[in-house]
Amino acid sequence: MQPGEYSKAAKNFLSIIEKMGESSKFGIDMSADPKAAVELFLKECGLKMTEYIQFGEKLEMEPFYCIVEAKKL
């Protein structure tokens, strides 16, 4: 997979989300260390992660999305 490309699982998930009226503006490469990638992104935005839930991890799948709670630094 090339930088900026979504995995097949992510594409399927995004198509479902788009049918619900939401759209994806960007993605974060979660292939190496998903939690660290999200933490770095939030830090660059002036935010600190307070909760992290990753989907696919327990199913031994490639992670394709997560839900994050963050607060302002």
Q: What is the pLDDT of residue 13?
A: 75
pLDDT of residue 29: 78
Q: Which amino acid is at 27?
A: G
pLDDT in tens, 18-61: 888 887 777 787 778 889 999 999 999 999 999 998 876 666 66
Domain-wise residue ranges, the chain? 8-72
d(CA 66, CA 41): 13
Residue 11 has pLDDT above 70, yes or no: yes
pTM as predicted: 0.64
Interacting residues of 33 by C-beta distance below 8 A, sequence separation 6+: none
Report the distance separating Cα 58 and Cα 22, nearest Å: 26
Cα–Cα distance measured from residue 73 to residue 55, given in angstroms and rounded to the nearest whole number: 26
More reliable by pLDDT, 41 or 9: 41
